Structure 1
Amino acid sequence: MVVILRIWLQAARADFYNPFSQFIVKATQPVIGPLRRVIPSIGNIDLATVLFAYVLCVLKFVALILIASNGSVSFSVDFLFLGLLSLLKAAGGLLFWVLLIRAILSWVSQGR
């Protein structure tokens, strides 16, 4: 989720002086930093971060199959498709929670 949040913060051009944004960047920088040197960005989309999130989703399914099958797994194209679906589901779930929290916070006075 933190990696997907970083993708959205970059795409939305969020203020990176915000402490929350700084936490997200600092938490993901050790892994994303070296990847960004190798994989270029396309426009305002950081392709290295998107690729890392996708690989994490694929590895999640590989690990689950390894656990379920007692260590024997044959790689399949299904893992790639399931990884993509998992990434989209995680992004949708994050969108839901962000919008819900934002709606609840809009009811609270911001001290003005």
Structure 2
Amino acid sequence: MEAIIFIVRTLLQVLLVTVFLLRVLLPLVRADARNQLSQAVIRLTNPLVLPLRRLLPPIGKIDTASILALIIVQVAATAILWLLGAYPWIRASSQFVYVVALSLITTVLQFYTFALLLHVLLSWVAPSTYSPAAALLSSLCEPLLRPVRRVLPPLGGIDLSALFVIIGLQALNIALT
């Protein structure tokens, strides 16, 4: 049963929730909407976001429909995992809300950790080549890296800002869980 829970958690959290998380994050970081990966995220999430957008208009740069869609997907994923027995200790609705919020925060932290690792690896392997994935990762990671680079400039041509951001994200993840 643990293997089934692992597979379902991976498919729901890593794939489905992350796609909706990207739908929220990409406009916030001003990622190129014409990027092929951005277009894929938009197409995958439109069936849920567009009907919600009729009910919830955006507030400034914040797409409230996308945020609500992300929360709906996270609630559904947590409910499915709870029904499979992944959270046997959930007995009250307040515990369920806590697990939903913690799962969403953990997903954001893990997403950014993974995105930063990929960003660093791509900068080592193909530093001056263009790819849609590298452009999207750069758009997502630069807002986190920029403040650290101001405080800690590259040392001898080596940029350690991603290392410090990853350490901070992991420390935050440990503190929350």
- After TM superposition, the score normalised by the length of structure 2 is 0.55
Contact 1:55/1:83 (<8 A) preserved: no
**Is it true that 1:93 corresponds to 2:123 in the alignment?**
no
Equivalent residue number for residue 3 of structure 1: 20
Q: Deviations over 1:58-94 (max 9, x none)?
A: 222222222339xxx9661211121111111111111
Structure 1 residue ranges (4+ consecutive) displaced by more than 4 angstroms after TM superposition: none
Equivalent residue number for residue 17 of structure 1: 34
Consecutive unaligned residues in structure 1, runs of 5 or more: none
How big is the shift at 1:16? 0.7
Q: Percent identity?
A: 33
Please give the alpha-carbon distance, in whole angstroms, between the structure 2 residues aligned to 1:18 and 1:5.
13
Q: Which moved more, 1:17-26 or 1:48-57?
A: 48-57
CA distance 1:78–1:111, change in 2 (3 Å): closer
CA distance 1:54–1:111, change in 2 (3 Å): closer
- After TM superposition, the score normalised by the length of structure 1 is 0.84
**Is it true that 1:67 corresponds to 2:62 in the alignment?**
no
Equivalent residue number for residue 45 of structure 1: 62
Please give the alpha-carbon distance, in whole angstroms, between the structure 2 residues aligned to 1:12 and 1:23.
17
CA distance 1:68–1:52, change in 2 (3 Å): same
Q: Deviations over 1:12-61 (max 9, x none)?
A: 11111111111111111111111111112222121111122122222222
Residue identity in the other structure for 1:31: L
- Pairing partner for 2:95 from 78, 82, 87: 78
Asked which structure has the greater CA Rg, the reply is 2
Aligned residues: 109
Contact 1:58/1:82 (<8 A) preserved: no
